[in-house]
């Protein structure tokens, strides 16, 4: 066989092999982005407003990519975590401000994820205390016995269950004409609508995503040579997460939003009953549980690791899964303590839907701090990776509009 015939498949094989080696942080953080709180926010959006928030889900995909691409660029080029970079360029006080913002977001997200998992347990008659014991114990064992690579693979495997929401949306038989007309109807003057706009923005662009992905590419030891593959990893993840969000919204709008428009969802059980009637009780409940478990578990892993890593960075202690527990006691201690505290709080009883939507609105209100530092740091990178030129203008506008509208919609919706 002529040599030039063999060259093409070998080249593609090499390219795909390199992508497979680099990919992971982007997909993990994006699957975590479609967490329990995000699923609940999308479900509430469809139940209360039909398809009127569907267009927003699609518009948020490129915005999400722009934000996380800057994160990837910072981590790969600098080789440092986000907290370390802020401390290096702006001082310790600003670093602590940013980290405190992160911790608040992580605590809110952790409670939301664990509450979602507790709700899934209740679907099958499992007491919340037993669910929390199993989840918290399992995640602590995973971290104590695994490396970053093994944790990443576990997170990707768990997160893949979120794709069942596409099946749920398809089986809900949405009306294409209603989807188009509804998505183009935007009641900007309605405070309750704006509140859910803010919740959706906060559900997609979260402070902990910036810190996690930057630390992940550093821990994975990616280099500037890997930047293109890491961008593709992030872009694919951004599309997947928003398709899942749109699927949840469509499924809810086509069922509960159609039969009982404007209804409030007060529990995971109610959401499951609303979006799975056409699948039958057993199959519908199982598929919904798989999707919720995938979304909540991968997000629990991400937010807990993010808080422990970033606090470790600022405190100047070892903060990586590559270190054994006895070499990084602060890191593993903070990781375990946050899981245990969150599990105990959720076991005490909490309204999942109100908590989850409130957490997403809080994320939107915190965006100016997180995205502001992200933009300023990207402008300080060395050539040729510095954020500059036309793309800097685009990124700046995306960040300004996202943060500004998130705060505006959040404040407006609270009144």
pTM of the model: 0.81
What pLDDT digit, counting tens, does each position of 331-343 carry? 899 999 999 999 9
79 has a pLDDT exceeding 60: yes
The confidence band for 323, taking pLDDT boundaries of 50, 70 and 90, is confident
If you average pLDDT over residues 363-379, what whole number do you get? Answer: 85
Locate 340 and state its tokens: 């245990």
399: Cβ contacts below 8 Å, ≥ 6 apart: 66, 67, 371, 372, 374, 375
Lowest-pLDDT choice from 142-146, 167-171, 410-414 = 410-414
If you average pLDDT over residues 260-280, what whole number do you get? Answer: 64
The confidence band for 206, taking pLDDT boundaries of 50, 70 and 90, is confident
What pLDDT digit, counting tens, does each position of 95-123 carry? 888 888 888 888 888 888 888 888 888 88
- Give the model's pLDDT for residue 12: 45
């Amino acid at each position: 066989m002529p040599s030039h015939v063999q060259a093409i498949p070998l080249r593609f094989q090499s390219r795909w092999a390199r992508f497979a080696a680099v990919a992971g942080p982007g997909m993990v953080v994006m699957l975590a982005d479609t967490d329990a709180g995000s699923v609940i926010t999308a479900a509430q959006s469809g139940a209360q407003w039909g398809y009127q928030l569907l267009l927003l889900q699609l518009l948020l995909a490129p915005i999400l990519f722009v934000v996380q691409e800057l994160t990837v660029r910072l981590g790969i080029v600098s080789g440092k975590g986000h907290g370390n970079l802020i401390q290096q360029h702006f001082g310790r006080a600003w670093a602590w401000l940013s980290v405190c913002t992160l911790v608040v977001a992580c605590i809110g997200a952790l409670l939301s994820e664990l509450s979602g998992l507790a709700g899934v347990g209740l679907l099958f008659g499992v007491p919340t205390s037993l669910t929390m014991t199993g989840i918290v114990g399992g995640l602590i064992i995973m971290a104590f016995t695994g490396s970053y690579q093994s944790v990443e693979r576990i997170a990707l495997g768990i997160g893949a269950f979120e794709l069942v929401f596409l099946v749920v949306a398809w089986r809900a038989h949405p009306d294409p004409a209603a989807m188009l007309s509804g998505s183009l109807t935007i009641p900007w003057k309605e405070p309750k609508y704006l509140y859910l706009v803010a919740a959706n923005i906060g559900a997609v662009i979260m402070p902990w995503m910036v810190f996690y992905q930057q630390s992940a590419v550093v821990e994975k030891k990616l280099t500037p040579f890997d930047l293109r593959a890491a961008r593709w990893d992030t872009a694919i993840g951004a599309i997947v997460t928003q398709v899942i969000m749109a699927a949840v919204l469509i499924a809810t709008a086509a069922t509960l939003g159609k039969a009982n428009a404007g209804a409030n969802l007060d529990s995971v059980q109610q959401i499951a009953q609303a979006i799975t009637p056409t699948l039958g009780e057993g199959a519908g409940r199982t598929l919904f549980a798989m999707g919720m478990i995938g979304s909540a578990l991968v997000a629990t892993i991400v937010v807990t690791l993010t808080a422990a890593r970033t606090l470790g960075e600022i405190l100047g202690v070892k903060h990586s899964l590559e270190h054994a527990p006895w070499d990084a006691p602060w890191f593993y201690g903070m990781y375990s303590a946050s899981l245990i505290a969150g599990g105990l709080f959720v076991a005490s009883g909490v309204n999942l839907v109100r908590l989850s939507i409130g957490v997403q609105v809080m994320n939107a209100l915190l965006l100016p701090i997180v995205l502001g530092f992200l933009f300023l740091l990207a402008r300080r990178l060395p050539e040729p990776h510095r954020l500059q030129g036309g793309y800097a203008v685009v990124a700046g506008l995306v960040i300004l509009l996202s943060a500004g509208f998130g705060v505006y919609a959040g404040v407006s919706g609270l009144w």
